[in-house]
Amino acid sequence: MSDPKHAKRPIIVKRHAGHDDEHGGQWKVAYADFVTAMMAFFLIMWLLATMTQSQRVVIARYFSTSSIFDLPSGNGVLSGGKSVMNGDTAAPHITASLKRRDNGGGSGKAGSSEQSNRDRMERQRFEALKAEIERMEQTGRLQGLASHLSLEMTEDGLRIQIFDRDGEPMFAAGSYEPTPRLSMILGVVSEVLATVQNSIIISGHTDAQALQRPNYSNWELSADRANAVRRRMVADGLATSRFVDVEGRAATEPLVPQDPDNPRNRRIAVTILRNAAALRLRQNGRADTAAQP
């Protein structure tokens, strides 16, 4: 018999199916692209959630513009330049270029088209202002104060009228100092108007009740109230140079003519002027901003 110590031990061989160790690495590239795309998507969603309505309108207009001549250029807000919200930044350069190209032959048509583009963009900016204030009335800091406000697009621009309600005045009786309620409204309005550079006019209006003060009538009171509103809006950040007309009109333009003592007749009208209306004001001394009943 053979010695069991010298018996052969069985050899076990384990075989595994072959495969690529790294799968080529393509999945890593695809996954990185997916993560980058998702990060960009959520960043855009966050930015949209923090934007105001007027900013969304400007961005939408940027992507919907059919020609580069429809957009004004800008140096960038962060670098201290002017934003596209400011309007006619690029107009002089475009007009000059078209005139040289046409050598005078088609300058009239080109100028008319450029003016039409500027007017269209200005209307869009004013609609954005109106939409933003209306949004603030519904969901923002002007909630509960919408009954004191009237917004109207006119030939001259956007007119914002702020008026009294029964038991809720904008000024104390016979005074030109704004109440906290009016200061709140003016703060929000000034914040919205800071997104454009158009000129502003302010007019003060009273009801038909005469003041019991010597040498101080509704004319003086309405003018003082208009000027007090101007000072408040300057304190809220608007440039003094933007206010081109501040006047009092007493009870000559009632909002409710059939009821001269109606509290709505006691109001302040702030009008943001279109460029054409501002030019007309400089030439003629007054824009056509009378309130319509």
- Using the predicted structure, report yes or no on whether residue 120 has a pLDDT greater than 70: yes
The per-residue pLDDT for 89 is: 37
Number of domains comprising the chain = 2
User: Is there a single domain that holds both residue 114 and residue 237?
Assistant: no
User: Is there a single domain that holds both residue 180 and residue 91?
Assistant: no
- Whether 116 is in a domain gets the answer yes
The per-residue pLDDT for 178 is: 94
Pairing mode, strands 243-248 and 157-163? unpaired
What band does 63 get if pLDDT is binned at 50, 70 and 90? low
What band does 28 get if pLDDT is binned at 50, 70 and 90? confident
The per-residue pLDDT for 24 is: 63
The per-residue pLDDT for 12 is: 73
Q: Which residue has the higher pLDDT, 71 or 46?
A: 46
What is the model's pTM? Answer: 0.61
Q: Which residue has the higher pLDDT, 200 or 44?
A: 200
CATH number of the domain that 155 lies in?
3.30.1330.60
Residue among 69, 109, 123, 117 at smallest CA distance from 277 = 123
Cα distances from 207 to residues 102, 115, 137, 165, 257, in angstroms, run 58, 41, 26, 12, 10
User: Is there a single domain that holds both residue 95 and residue 72?
Assistant: yes
- Whether 241 is in a domain gets the answer yes
What band does 67 get if pLDDT is binned at 50, 70 and 90? very low
- Using the predicted structure, report yes or no on whether residue 22 has a pLDDT greater than 70: no
Question: Mean pLDDT, to the nearest integer, of 265-283?
Answer: 92
User: Is there a single domain that holds both residue 135 and residue 147?
Assistant: no
User: Is there a single domain that holds both residue 262 and residue 147?
Assistant: yes
Question: Mean pLDDT, to the nearest integer, of 177-190?
Answer: 94
Question: Mean pLDDT, to the nearest integer, of 144-165?
Answer: 93
- Whether 113 is in a domain gets the answer yes
Neighbour tally for 134: CB within 10 Å: 16
What band does 68 get if pLDDT is binned at 50, 70 and 90? very low
User: Is there a single domain that holds both residue 108 and residue 152?
Assistant: no
Pairing mode, strands 200-205 and 149-153? unpaired
For residue 191, what are the domain limits? 143-284
